A and B are shown apart, each in its own frame.
Chain A
Amino acid sequence: MKEYDVLEHSADLKILVRGQNMEELFNNALRGMFESVEPEAVSKEERRRKIEVKPSDPKLGLIDFLSEALFQSDTNYEAYNNVEFDVFEEGHIVAELIGYPIKGFREEIKAVTYHDFEITETDQGFEASIIFDI
């Protein structure tokens, strides 16, 4: 199963993410978000950031999780390609983002939008399309 695809969108960035379970869906969305804008690594040094997310609506946990990762990236000059979850509940996520220091991105993500967002169940697990303002 392909982790994610970049879809056509006239103004912004849209990705379709897949995962066998919700944790994998979140992890693939994280990877898809950062890989799509092509981070320029400073080094391979591993960076870890502890995060806690309490979504405003349990159905929107993925968007709030990605927004938190974007905030960490923007303020620490890092990109993330993996996540380890300590708590993964509807309405509460505690996790460690794993990534590396960066010089910049080819394209800047301004925000993760809620537009048209929905997680759907598929034969192979879950999928979600996410639109980023760039």
Chain B
Amino acid sequence: MADIKSLKKIEEYLYEIPKTHKSGMRVPARVYASEKMLQEIGGDRSLWQLTNVATLPGILKYALAMPDIHEGYGFPIGGVAGMDYKSGVVSPGGVGYDINCGMRLLRSKIMVNDIKDHLRAVAHQINRDVPSGVGRGGDLELTPKELDQILNKGVKRMVELGYGEKEDINNIEEYGSMSGADASKVSDRAKKRGHDQVGTLGSGNHFLEIQRVDEIFDEKLAGEMGMKKDLVMVMIHTGSRGLGHQVCSDYVRRLIPKLDEWGFDLPDRELACAPINSIEGKDYLAAMACAANFAWSNRQMINHLVRGAWKRILEPVGIDAKLDLIYDVAHNMAKIEEHIIGNKKTKICVHRKGATRAFGPGREELNDLYKRIGQPVLIPGTMGTSSYVLVGTKEAEKQTFGTVCHGAGRRMSRKAAKKRITGAEVRKNLEARGIMVECASSRGLAEEAPLAYKDVDDVVDVIAKAKLAKKVVKLKPIAVIKGG
């Protein structure tokens, strides 16, 4: 079992477990962390899971872990692996069940003082208009044909249907539409789970927050993104709901019986994988792309509903109610990308499980603005703590296949959190700090209490000091809306 004693310091904020640590490791495992974080990282089985990732066929350079690493299943959360496109594998468990769980950030036209008197009404309206969808569907029920169009085209289809603006498409990773999506590779069961879930938030750590810009680290970059101190923002965190969960379940189940045939001896069934160029590998990537499109469409629909709530409350009192999309980025995904490996441009499949793409300036995949300044990276904190906007760097492309962390990372189980604090106390603490809470479930609040998570400031500091991303602004919540 790998523990922190197995880690060798490579440089400040970077530790390595050599590939000689256990048999089967094809590459070393590397962890980005501060010394302070290592004890916590060693407290669960995430390092063991990371060394398991290092055994996967075709893995290149290192199995990587971001500073928010914690125990998952198969891959650790915060795990990153780049596989050679020709000889490597794709692992549905390396993406996770919530395919394209991700973050979206909207910029308002108003300052925190402008919304002060209307905040409760706005938060309440958003809570009414955006269903959690846990146990019931959203307002949009799709026929099989309509759902297939969304799976194949993603946000482009949502905008055609009137759920958003053309400019939104320009500010979404992959422009909200993954190439290679093929709805025929998604099972009818997955479609049945997803047909009424577009525009639903889900439960757990999924949330909507109204935030203000609290601190600016880089005036120029913040200005380029239209952000200034005290500007009001909206952050959305959710994923592909039941459709994505079923796609992952279907493909893990399909791959397990094939492992022997491919000669894969894996240390964990959740690492079940297929050669990227096998029929199964190609089918998974096509189905995963559909689930990714579904998740972007889900966030697009929620975006549309939030815009509606914003207008309904603020326009009658003469406040400019426009909300513009800054960026939408995934943190559970496998992507075919080109990276420099040993001085050679190489096509690889990058798995990011609880990790965010963070491309630096110049990447062809980005729109004109972000090609110039680097891709926005959206890192949510926990309820009541800070969230961050950063931009990716060329250094991240060199070191981590253009990847950084995805959040604070859990340090305590939900059960342990509930023992330490009640939902009522969490609500009281937040409201004492001027943060409004709209959440039906007090227990849900306790399970997601800030004490259950690592300190997001520490996590982001490691990323910035390792030069994987540049801090742009820090955001603080003024209202939290949670599904369950």
By a beta-carbon cutoff of 8 Å, the part of chain A in contact with chain B is 6, 8-13, 38-40, 56-57, 60, 64, 67, 71, 74-75, 77, 102-108, 110-117, 131, 133-134
- The answer to whether A56 and B256 touch (CB under 8 A), given A12-B72, A104-B134, is yes
With A10-B410, A12-B72, A56-B253 known to touch, is A111 a contact of B97 (CB < 8 Å)? yes
Q: In the complex, are the beta carbons of A111 and B248 less than 8 A apart?
A: yes
Q: Are A115 and B269 in contact (CB under 8 A)?
A: yes
Pull 11 A–B residue pairs with CB atoms less than 8 Å apart, ordered by A.
Answer: A11-B77, A11-B410, A39-B135, A71-B193, A74-B193, A108-B484, A111-B97, A115-B74, A115-B270, A131-B73, A133-B97
Cα–Cα distance between A40 and B270 once the two chains are bound (Å) = 31
Chain B residues within an 8 Å CB radius of A105: 134-135, 203, 484
Complex contact A10–B189 (CB within 8 A)? no
Q: Cα distance A3–B185 when bound, in Å?
A: 39
Additional A-B contact list (5), CB under 8 Å, known A12-B72, A38-B443: A11-B410, A56-B256, A108-B202, A113-B73, A115-B74
A6 touches B415 (CB 8 A): yes
Closest residue of chain A to B44, judged by CB? A10
- Known: A71-B193, A71-B246. Contact between A104 and B72, CB under 8 A? no
Q: Which residues of A contact B416 (CB under 8 A)?
A: 8
Contact size range, B: 35 or more
Chain A CB within 8 A of B444 CB: yes
Q: How far is the CA of A117 from the CA of B269 in the complex (A)?
A: 9
Chain B residues with CB under 8 Å of A75's CB are 192-193
With A11-B71, A107-B203 given, is the CB distance from A115 to B268 under 8 Å?
yes
**Which of B72, B189, B253 touches A11 (beta carbons < 8 Å)?**
B72
A133 contacts which of B73, B268, B410, B444 (Cβ < 8 Å)?
A: B73
Across chains A and B, which 8 residue pairs bring their CB atoms closest together, nearest first? A104-B135, A115-B73, A114-B269, A111-B97, A115-B270, A110-B245, A113-B73, A108-B203
Chain B residue contacts of A38, Cβ below 8 A: 443
- B44: chain A residues within 8 A (beta carbon): 10
A2 and B315 CA atoms in complex are apart in Å by: 58
Which B residues are within 8 Å of any A CB, using their own CB? 44, 70-74, 77, 93, 96-98, 132, 134-136, 189, 192-193, 202-204, 242, 245-246, 248-249, 252-254, 256-257, 268-270, 272, 410-416, 441, 443-444, 447, 484
Whether B441 and A106, one on each chain, are in contact in the complex, defined by CB atoms closer than 8 angstroms, is yes
Considering the complex, give the chain A residue whose CB is closest to the CB of B203.
Answer: A108
In the assembly, what is the distance between CA of A57 and CA of B193, in Å?
24
Report the separation of the CA atoms of residues A11 and B96 in the bound assembly, to the nearest whole angstrom: 13
Minimum CB–CB distance from A36 to chain B (whole Å) comes to: 10
Given known A-B contacts A10-B70, A108-B204, A114 and B98 have beta carbons under 8 A apart: no
Q: Is the CB of A107 within 8 A of B204?
A: yes
How far, in angstroms, from A46 to B269 measured CA to CA in the complex? 36
CB-CB < 8 A to A106: which residues of B? 203, 441, 443-444, 484
Contact B192 A111 (CB under 8 A): no
CB distance from B452 to the nearest CB of A (A): 9
Q: B252 to A114, Cβ gap below 8 A?
A: yes
**Closest Cβ of chain B: how far from A108's Cβ, in Å?**
4
Count chain B CB atoms within 10 A of each CB in A11, A13, A64, A114 and give the residue with the most: A11
Instruction: Point out which of A108, A110, A113, A117 has the most chain B C-beta atoms below 10 A from its C-beta.
Output: A110
Question: Is B203 touching A8 in the complex (CB atoms < 8 A)?
Answer: no
Provide the residues of chain A in CB contact with B136, threshold 8 Å: 77, 103-104
Closest Cβ neighbor of A9 among chain B residues: B413
* A40-B135 in contact given A107-B204, A117-B269 (Cβ < 8 Å): yes
A74 to B202, CA, bound (A): 12
Residue of A nearest to B76 (CB): A11
